[in-house]
Amino acid sequence: MNKFLTSFNSKDLPSVKTDILIIGSGVAGLSAAIQAAKYGKVTIITKDKLSENNTQKAQGGIAVALSENDSSEKHIEDTLRVGCGLCNEKTVRIVVEEGPVRIKELIQWGTEFDKQGARLSFTQEAGHSIRRVIHAKGDATGAELERALIAKVRQSANIKILEYAFVIDLLHKDGACFGTVVNIKNGNVGAIRESPKKIVYARKVILATGGIGQVYRETTNSTVATGCGMALAYRAGAKLIDMEFVQFHPTTLYVAGLSRTLISEAVRGEGGVLRNKHGERFMFEYHKDGELAPRDVMSRSILKEMRETADTRVYLDLTHLSYKLIENRFPNIMEVCSSFGIDIKKDFIPVRPTAHYMIGGIKIDKNGKTNIQNLYACGETASSGVHGANRLASNSLLEGLVFGYRAGQSAGKDIDCGKRFDRTSDISNVLDSAGARKLDIGDLKASLKSLMTRYVGIERDERSLLAAQKEINFWSSYVMGKEFSDIRDWEFQNMLLVAGLVQKAALIRKESIGVHYRTDYPEQNGKEWQKRHIELSDI
Ligand code: SIN
């Protein structure tokens, strides 16, 4: 596999230097930046505007053991149980035990979580044995988190922000990373304004680029969630792990022709129920916890119900809940639905499962370090083993906070600002000079999304996975290793690479566990697979 997406010679391109380069601006990237800035100059690069990411869209909240009746042990137990025995207990402990400190810090920085009187208000979500999920502005938790973190980042003179800049490649050689090759759309990086392709040299690089939802036809994710960080790391020789575990969210607003919008699990936590097109409540036929069954069970049950009723959706019924509760807790969901003519006080909300959260990703240790020297990762793009085979609802923002903090601290402490920048002589790459054929990338993207949804989605089997492999290999044969010059094209190359890794891992794991459901191996094969993780790398 070609180790770079673009032709370049580092000595010929204009360059800038930063101590720590952070790619991505969700909860993990911003948390990392705040910490790293205590030790050196930080640059945050993001391919869109600063607040365009999955954190911004998060609704339900943050799971944290802060209520009177809760404890770290209970939170750990719930996380391990939902993770189906594949969690890394050490990292679960780190996230759960350090989580409360990180939340208190956020509150000090001005984050306004919802309260009941003087105390934090906790909601219920699936898999939690207790009301443990804190939230903000009803159902706008992510947006409030992002607001507070951006404000904190902007206060630091040590942090520079570069928006609308696309990282094409990591600058890497012999298992070490020295910076990135960046395409700067708006040319807003001071001295190197004129040229679109630049080198950003960095002593440490932290990837915090989020998930891969856009690889699927329908997703709750931001348009930036294209798996670019995972692809960058993989090309540089990083290990990726647990790529078969893609979590689908059971309830996404489904109105044909309109973009999908998450309908938070908290809606079911507060009493919302699911009905099929005949108005029948069905979840208790599938699981004793009804609408609060684990997400993988929910998604498969909804799929089955849709098939059996020959419908494209099921329906979320809130009509029995008090108007005051709905108005206070879900003002944004109410507004979105109302903009489509759905009055959630009297109408059912049409919903279906869509791709939501990538459990797998770049393998990291407890400090966010990858197997590549100078390269760190945190948040959804990384895999610390916290989520096992099925993520407990609302554990991801907490993981982003804790591992963002750890990666920022660790990268910061490891830099030696007195040392000259290591430019490692020259790094260069030459691609097929014939260049890429004129391709309709929009069409290819739509085809890939469709393929992944049909063949590598909520349910997979050997036949579907092999069919996906055949198509991905065919498209790769004329898309990979060719010189493109547009962000959309590079992004597609990354999506294709990541899709292939999900497909490959899903084919290898011949059992069903958590969110990975193989219809040809419907049981969990404890003996052979328990505690075994699938690692993929190109070294
Ligand atoms: C939700 O609000 O349902 C999403 C929470 C999560 O995915 O953790």
pLDDT of residue 427: 92
For 27, 65, 411, the CA distances from 101, given in Å and listed in that order, are 15, 11, 20
CA of 60 to the centre of ligand 1 (A): 5
Averaged pLDDT for residues 7-25: 94
Asked whether the predicted pLDDT for residue 354 surpasses 80, the reply is yes
pLDDT of residue 187: 47
Beta bridge partners of 202: 18
How far, in Å, is the centroid of ligand 1 from the Cα of 63?
10
Residue 524 confidence (pLDDT): 84
The reported pLDDT for the residue numbered 529 is 64
> Which residue among 394, 397, 399 has the greatest number of ligand 1 atoms within 8 angstroms of its CB, and so is best to mutate?
394
Mean pLDDT of the region 153-176: 96
* For ligand 1, mutation pick of 132, 263, 265, 356 (most atoms within 8 Å of CB): 265
Residue 193 has pLDDT above 60, yes or no: no
pLDDT at residue number 485: 83
Q: Where are the alpha helices (DSSP H) in 236-316?
A: 265-269, 295-308
Active-site hit among 93, 147, 203, 295: 295
> How close is the Cα of 265 to the center of ligand 1, in Å?
6
CA angle, corner 377, sides to 168 and 191, nearest 5?
A: 45
- Which of 59, 260, 267, 357 is the pocket-test mutation for ligand 1 (most atoms within 8 Å of CB)? 59
Burial class (CB in 10 A: 0-12, 13-18, 19+), 462: middle
Confidence of residue 260 (pLDDT cuts 50, 70, 90): confident
How much of the chain, in percent, has pLDDT values that exceed 90?
86
Where is average pLDDT lowest: 161-165, 435-439, 467-471? 435-439
State the pLDDT at residue 435. 60
Class of residue 308 by CB neighbours under 10 A (exposed 0-12, middle 13-18, buried 19+):
exposed
Indicate which atom in ligand 1 lies nearest the CA of residue 356.
7
Q: Which residues form ligand 1's pocket by a CB distance below 6 Å? A: 59-60, 264-266, 357, 393-394, 396
Counting from 1 in the atom list of ligand 1, the atom nearest the Cα of 392 is 8
Evaluate if residue 192 carries a pLDDT over 60: no
**Ligand 1 centroid to residue 68 C-alpha, Å:** 23
pLDDT at 447 over 50: yes
- Note if 147 is an active site residue: no
Cα separation of 228 and 36, whole Å? Answer: 22
45-51: average pLDDT: 95
Using the mean position of ligand 1's atoms as its centre, give its distance from the Cα of residue 436 in Å: 40
pTM score, two decimals?
0.95
- Which atom of ligand 1 is nearest the CA belonging to 251? 3
Overall average pLDDT of the 17-27 stretch:
97
Q: Please state the atom number of ligand 1 nearest to the C-alpha of residue 60.
A: 2
Residue of the CA atom closest to atom 2 of ligand 1: 60
**Average predicted confidence (pLDDT) for the chain:** 93
Residue 530 has a pLDDT of 61
Which two structure tokens, joined as six digits, stand for 401? Answer: 């906070």
Residue closest by Cα to atom 8 of ligand 1: 394
> What confidence category does residue 191 fall into, taking pLDDT thresholds of 50, 70 and 90?
very low
- pLDDT higher at 457 or 419: 457
The protein residue whose alpha carbon is closest to atom 4 in ligand 1 is 60
- Highest mean pLDDT range out of 376-390, 481-495, 524-538? 376-390
Q: Which domains does the chain have, with CATH numbers?
A: 15-245+359-421 (3.50.50.60), 251-353 (3.90.700.10), 434-525 (1.20.58.100)
CA of 352 to the centre of ligand 1 (A): 15
Q: For the stretch 389-427, what's the b/e string if a residue is b when 16 or more beta carbons lie within 10 angstroms of its beta carbon? A: bbbbbbbbbbbbbbbbbbbbbbbbeebeeeeeeebbeeb
Distance in angstroms (rounded) separating the CA atoms of residues 233 and 381: 10
208-237 residue pLDDT tens? 999 999 999 999 999 999 999 999 999 999
Quote the pLDDT of residue 486.
87
Predicted local distance difference test score (pLDDT) of residue 433: 64
